């Protein structure tokens, strides 16, 4: 029935879908802002318990409570001030209560979520596969921004991505079940081994455990054949970006630069063009 509606009213269907994706972008903003706060509160509670200190009296926050609020003045945001993209433009990028500037990342994430989701619908079509692809895109957007802001790849998101990849490939959506399992294991062990050898040689930690899990998730989604491209492209992109960033800001090479965002970009490219890139690469050997 959905496909029939798309065929009869394609423009209307894609407009409604884009609006839906913008609303999901607004939800992703909530996850990106609140999840690190929730993890910090959890870790603080665990540390205080371990040190036998009284529990900290801080306001509780989760993904559902309290309602959306201004981080500066804590005023609850009414729903008509929370319409994706439109509210930001009508409010001229400022909180209606305290007039504090609203970070540009909020409408940007909504627009990116809407754009990538629409691209996925156009590229893959409206089918069961699209549901898994959208979840993949939305999780990567969250991981990308959180890692940039906090240098953190939450296990709750990376594990969800990993298990989702294994689950969808039981139906061989992107690769065979055996390749998905082998891809996840080989991806994790490859980065784990490389970083431990790097640590033994230099005494420095070059990458966090979250990067291993994210790379393993890509192995679960795309199989082991796509892993060399993902690792090579993300490494080259990270190296170039890191050099430009350090040179432009005057910081030293000891400055930590998150690797997760580059993995996320490589994963998105693989999602849309991975098979074409693999065929192009293998064409040199045929």
* Digit-coded pLDDT (tens) for 68-88: 888 888 888 888 888 899 888
Q: Rounded distance, CA 286 to CA 78, Å?
A: 61
Q: In residues, how long is the chain?
A: 286
- The half-sphere exposure of 142 on its side-chain side, counting CA atoms within 13 A, is 28
Alpha helices for the chain (secondary structure H): 2-8, 10-50, 86-90, 105-124, 128-150, 155-168, 177-202, 209-222, 227-249, 260-282
Domain ranges of the chain: 1-126, 139-286
All residues at 6 or more sequence positions from 214 whose CB lies less than 8 Å from its CB, including other chains: 143, 153, 158, 161, 260, 263, 264, 267
Q: What is the pLDDT of residue 4?
A: 61
* Digit-coded pLDDT (tens) for 116-153: 999 999 999 888 899 999 999 999 999 999 999 999 99
Q: Is the pLDDT of residue 198 over 80?
A: no
């Amino acid at each position: 029935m959905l496909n029939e509606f798309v065929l009869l009213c394609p423009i209307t269907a894609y407009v409604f879908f884009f609006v839906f994706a913008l609303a999901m972008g607004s939800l992703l903003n909530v996850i990106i802002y609140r999840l690190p706060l929730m993890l910090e509160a959890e870790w603080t509670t665990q540390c205080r318990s371990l040190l036998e200190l009284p529990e900290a009296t801080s306001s509780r926050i989760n993904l559902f409570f309290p309602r959306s609020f201004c981080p500066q003045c804590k005023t609850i945001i009414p729903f008509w001030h929370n319409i994706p993209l439109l509210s930001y433009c009508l409010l001229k990028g400022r909180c209606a209560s305290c007039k504090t500037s609203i970070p540009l990342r909020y409408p940007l994430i909504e627009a990116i979520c809407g754009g990538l989701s629409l691209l996925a619908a156009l590229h893959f079509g409206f089918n069961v596969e699209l549901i898994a692809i959208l979840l993949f895109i939305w999780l990567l957007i969250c991981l990308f921004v959180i890692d940039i802001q906090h240098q953190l790849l939450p296990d709750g998101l990376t594990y969800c991505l990993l298990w989702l990849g294994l689950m969808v490939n039981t139906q061989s959506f992107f690769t065979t079940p055996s390749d998905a399992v082998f891809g996840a294991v080989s991806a994790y062990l490859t980065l784990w081994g490389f970083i431990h050898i790097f640590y033994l040689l230099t005494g420095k930690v070059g990458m966090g455990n979250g990067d291993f899990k994210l790379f393993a998730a890509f192995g679960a989604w795309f199989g082991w054949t796509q892993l060399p491209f993902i690792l090579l492209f993300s490494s080259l992109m990270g190296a170039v970006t890191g050099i430009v960033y350090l040179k432009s800001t005057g910081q030293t090479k000891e400055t930590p630069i998150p690797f997760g965002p580059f993995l996320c970009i490589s994963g998105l490219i693989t999602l849309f063009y991975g098979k074409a890139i693999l065929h192009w690469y293998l064409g040199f050997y045929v």
